Chains A and B, each alone.
Chain A
Amino acid sequence: MSGDFTEIGRALPRKEDRRLVSGRGRYLDDLAFPGALHVSFVRSPHAHARILDIDSAEAAEMPGVVGIFTGRDLDQMTTRLRLAPPIEGLQPTELTTLPIDKVRFHGDPVVCVVATDRYLAEDAAECVSVEYDQLPAVTSITEAFAPDAALVDDSLTSNMVSHQSLCVGDPAARRAEAHRVVEARFSLHRHTHVPLETRGCVADWDDGRAHLNMHIGNQVPHPLRSQLAARLGLSESQVTVMSPDVGGAFGQKIALYREELTVAALSRHLRRPVRWREDRMENLMSAAHAREYECRTRASVSETGRILGLELEIDEDFGGYCFYPANYMARVIALIMTGPYRIQDYAYEVRVALTNKCGAGPMRAPMAITSWVMEGTIDAIARDLGLDPVEVRRINALGPEDLPYKMPTGELLEDVSPRETLEIAVDVIDVAAFRARQAQARAEGRYLGLGLCTVIESTTYGSEFYKSAGIPGSGHESAWVRIEPSGAVNASVGLMGTGQGYESPLSQAVAEGLGVRSEDVTVHMGNTDIAPYGMGSRGGRGATAGGGTLYLCALKARERVLAIAASMLDLNDAGGLRMRAGQIERMIGDDWQGTGLALVDIARRAYLDPLALPEGIAPGLDFSHSYDPPAMTYSNSTHACEVEVDPQTGAITIDRYLVAEDSGTVLNPIVVRGQQQGAIAMGLSGALLEQVIYDGTGQNLSATLADYLVASPNELPKFEILHHNTPNRRTPAGIKGMAEGGVMGAIGVLANAVSDALAPRGVTIERLPLTPQSIRALLREAAPSSTKRTQP
Chain B
Amino acid sequence: MTAPTHDPLTLSLSVNGETHDVRVPARKLLSDVLRDDLGLTGTHVGCEHGVCGACTVLIDGRPARACLTFAAQMEGHEVTTVEATGRPDALSALQQALHEEHGLQCGFCTPGIVVTFEHYLRENPDPTAEEVRDVLSGNLCRCTGYQNIVAAVLKAAARMRGEAA
Residues of chain A having any CB pair with chain B under 8 Å? 13-14, 16-27, 29-30, 32, 62-63, 119-120, 123, 127, 194-198, 245-248, 250, 279-280, 498-501, 670-671, 673-674, 677-678, 680-682, 704-706, 710, 712-714, 716, 718-719
Residues of A within 8 A of B91 (CB): 18, 21-22
Q: Which residues of B80-128 have CB atoms within 8 Å of chain A's CB atoms?
A: 81-83, 85-89, 91, 95, 98-100, 102, 104-111, 114
Residues of B within 8 A of A17 (CB): 98-99, 104, 107
* Contact B105–A19 (Cβ < 8 Å): no
* Contact B142–A714 (Cβ < 8 Å): no
What is the distance, in angstroms, from B51's C-beta to the closest C-beta of chain A?
4
Residues of B within 8 A of A32 (CB): 39
Identify the closest chain B residue to A742 (Cβ).
Answer: B145
| Complex CA distance for A32 and B136, rounded to whole angstroms | 31
B28 within 8 A of A: yes
Determine which of A22, A248, A670, A712 lies in contact with B102 in the assembled complex, contact meaning CB atoms within 8 Å: A670
What is the distance, in angstroms, from B98's C-beta to the closest C-beta of chain A?
5
Identify the closest chain A residue to B4 (Cβ).
Answer: A123
| Complex CA distance for A713 and B113, rounded to whole angstroms | 13
Residues of chain B having any CB pair with chain A under 8 Å? 1, 3-4, 6, 25, 27-28, 35, 39-49, 51-52, 54, 81-83, 85-89, 91, 95, 98-100, 102, 104-111, 114, 132-134, 136-137, 140-150
What is the distance, in angstroms, from B17's C-beta to the closest C-beta of chain A?
16
Q: A21-B95, A21-B99, A670-B102 are in contact. Are A27 and B108 (CB under 8 A)?
A: yes
Identify the closest chain A residue to B144 (Cβ).
Answer: A678
| Complex CA distance for A14 and B106, rounded to whole angstroms | 11
Q: A27-B44, A714-B133 are in contact. Are A677 and B104 (CB under 8 A)?
A: no
* Contact A280–B87 (Cβ < 8 Å): no
Give me 14 A-to-B residue pairs in the complex whose CB atoms sit less than 8 angstroms apart, sorted by A's number. Answer: A16-B107, A17-B98, A17-B99, A22-B82, A22-B95, A32-B39, A196-B44, A196-B54, A248-B142, A280-B52, A674-B148, A714-B133, A714-B137, A716-B146
Q: A247-B108, A705-B52, A710-B140 are in contact. Are A19 and B88 (CB under 8 A)?
A: yes
| Complex CA distance for A32 and B107, rounded to whole angstroms | 20
| Complex CA distance for A62 and B52, rounded to whole angstroms | 33
Determine which of A19, A197, A245, A498 lies in contact with B46 in the assembled complex, contact meaning CB atoms within 8 Å: A197
* Contact A22–B46 (Cβ < 8 Å): no
* Contact A23–B83 (Cβ < 8 Å): yes
* Contact A197–B44 (Cβ < 8 Å): yes
Residues of A within 8 A of B40 (CB): 23
Determine which of A19, A498, A680, A705 lies in contact with B49 in the assembled complex, contact meaning CB atoms within 8 Å: A705
Q: A123-B4, A718-B147 are in contact. Are A682 and B142 (CB under 8 A)?
A: yes
What is the distance, in angstroms, from B40's C-beta to the closest C-beta of chain A?
8
Q: A23-B111, A63-B6, A127-B1 are in contact. Are A280 and B88 (CB under 8 A)?
A: no
* Contact B147–A196 (Cβ < 8 Å): no
| Complex CA distance for A21 and B51, rounded to whole angstroms | 20
Residues of B within 8 A of A119 (CB): 25, 27-28
Residues of A within 8 A of B105 (CB): 248, 499-501, 674, 678
What is the distance, in angstroms, from B83's C-beta to the closest C-beta of chain A?
5
Residues of B within 8 A of A25 (CB): 42, 107-108
* Contact B108–A197 (Cβ < 8 Å): yes
Residues of A within 8 A of B106 (CB): 20, 195-197, 245-248, 498-499
Scoring A123, A705, A719 by chain B CB atoms within 10 A of each residue's CB, the highest score goes to A705
Q: A20-B104, A25-B107, A196-B106 are in contact. Are A681 and B43 (CB under 8 A)?
A: no
Residues of A within 8 A of B109 (CB): 196, 247
What is the distance, in angstroms, from A740's C-beta to the closest C-beta of chain B?
14
Residues of A within 8 A of B140 (CB): 196, 705, 710, 712
Closest CB pairs A-B (n = 9): A23-B42, A499-B106, A20-B107, A247-B108, A681-B145, A23-B82, A30-B41, A713-B146, A705-B51
Residues of A within 8 A of B1 (CB): 127
Residues of B within 8 A of A21 (CB): 86, 91, 95, 98-99, 104, 107, 110, 114
Q: A674-B148, A705-B49, A714-B137 are in contact. Are A18 and B142 (CB under 8 A)?
A: no
| Complex CA distance for A719 and B1, rounded to whole angstroms | 54
Determine which of B41, B98, B136 lies in contact with A23 in the assembled complex, contact meaning CB atoms within 8 Å: B41
What is the distance, in angstroms, from A498's C-beta to the closest C-beta of chain B?
6
| Complex CA distance for A689 and B110, rounded to whole angstroms | 23
- Seed contacts A23-B111, A719-B147; 5 additional CB < 8 Å A-B pairs: A14-B99, A20-B110, A196-B54, A196-B141, A705-B52
| Complex CA distance for A340 and B131, rounded to whole angstroms | 40
What is the distance, in angstroms, from B134's C-beta to the closest C-beta of chain A?
7
* Contact A674–B102 (Cβ < 8 Å): yes
Determine which of B46, B85, B102, B137 lies in contact with A196 in the assembled complex, contact meaning CB atoms within 8 Å: B46
| Complex CA distance for A162 and B126, rounded to whole angstroms | 58
* Contact B51–A245 (Cβ < 8 Å): no
Identify the closest chain A residue to B49 (Cβ).
Answer: A704
Q: Is the interface of B mostly helix, strand, loop or mixed?
A: loop
| Complex CA distance for A23 and B81, rounded to whole angstroms | 9
Residues of A within 8 A of B45 (CB): 29
Residues of B within 8 A of A18 (CB): 88-89, 91, 99
| Complex CA distance for A677 and B102, rounded to whole angstroms | 11
Determine which of B42, B86, B147 lies in contact with A677 in the assembled complex, contact meaning CB atoms within 8 Å: B147
Residues of B within 8 A of A673 (CB): 102
Determine which of B41, B49, B134 lies in contact with A29 in the assembled complex, contact meaning CB atoms within 8 Å: B41
| Complex CA distance for A25 and B99, rounded to whole angstroms | 14
| Complex CA distance for A678 and B102, rounded to whole angstroms | 11
What is the distance, in angstroms, from A242's C-beta to the closest C-beta of chain B?
17
Residues of A within 8 A of B85 (CB): 22-23
Determine which of B39, B42, B108, B144 lies in contact with A22 in the assembled complex, contact meaning CB atoms within 8 Å: B42
Residues of A within 8 A of B134 (CB): 714
* Contact A499–B42 (Cβ < 8 Å): no
Scoring B39, B43, B98, B141 by chain A CB atoms within 10 A of each residue's CB, the highest score goes to B141
Residues of B within 8 A of A29 (CB): 35, 41, 45
What is the distance, in angstroms, from A347's C-beta to the closest C-beta of chain B?
37
What is the distance, in angstroms, from A672's C-beta to the closest C-beta of chain B?
10
| Complex CA distance for A731 and B81, rounded to whole angstroms | 46
What is the distance, in angstroms, from A192's C-beta to the closest C-beta of chain B?
11
* Contact A63–B83 (Cβ < 8 Å): no
Q: A17-B104, A22-B82, A127-B1 are in contact. Are A680 and B145 (CB under 8 A)?
A: yes
* Contact A713–B136 (Cβ < 8 Å): yes
* Contact B145–A716 (Cβ < 8 Å): yes
| Complex CA distance for A712 and B113, rounded to whole angstroms | 13
* Contact A499–B107 (Cβ < 8 Å): yes
* Contact B49–A196 (Cβ < 8 Å): no
Residues of B within 8 A of A714 (CB): 133-134, 137
Identify the closest chain B residue to A197 (Cβ).
Answer: B108
| Complex CA distance for A18 and B110, rounded to whole angstroms | 11
| Complex CA distance for A246 and B143, rounded to whole angstroms | 12
Identify the closest chain A residue to B106 (Cβ).
Answer: A499
What is the distance, in angstroms, from B156's C-beta to the closest C-beta of chain A?
11
| Complex CA distance for A681 and B143, rounded to whole angstroms | 8
| Complex CA distance for A706 and B44, rounded to whole angstroms | 19
| Complex CA distance for A681 and B81, rounded to whole angstroms | 29
Residues of B within 8 A of A706 (CB): 49, 51
Identify the closest chain A residue to B151 (Cβ).
Answer: A718
Residues of B within 8 A of A247 (CB): 44, 46, 106-109
| Complex CA distance for A671 and B3, rounded to whole angstroms | 51
Determine which of A24, A123, A250 lies in contact with B142 in the assembled complex, contact meaning CB atoms within 8 Å: A250
* Contact B133–A24 (Cβ < 8 Å): no
* Contact B86–A710 (Cβ < 8 Å): no
What is the distance, in angstroms, from A181's C-beta to the closest C-beta of chain B?
39
Residues of A within 8 A of B44 (CB): 27, 196-197, 247
What is the distance, in angstroms, from A499's C-beta to the closest C-beta of chain B?
3
| Complex CA distance for A14 and B47, rounded to whole angstroms | 27
What is the distance, in angstroms, from B72's C-beta to the closest C-beta of chain A?
14
What is the distance, in angstroms, from A540's C-beta to the closest C-beta of chain B?
15
Residues of A within 8 A of B6 (CB): 63, 120
Residues of A within 8 A of B143 (CB): 196, 248, 499, 674, 678
| Complex CA distance for A246 and B40, rounded to whole angstroms | 18
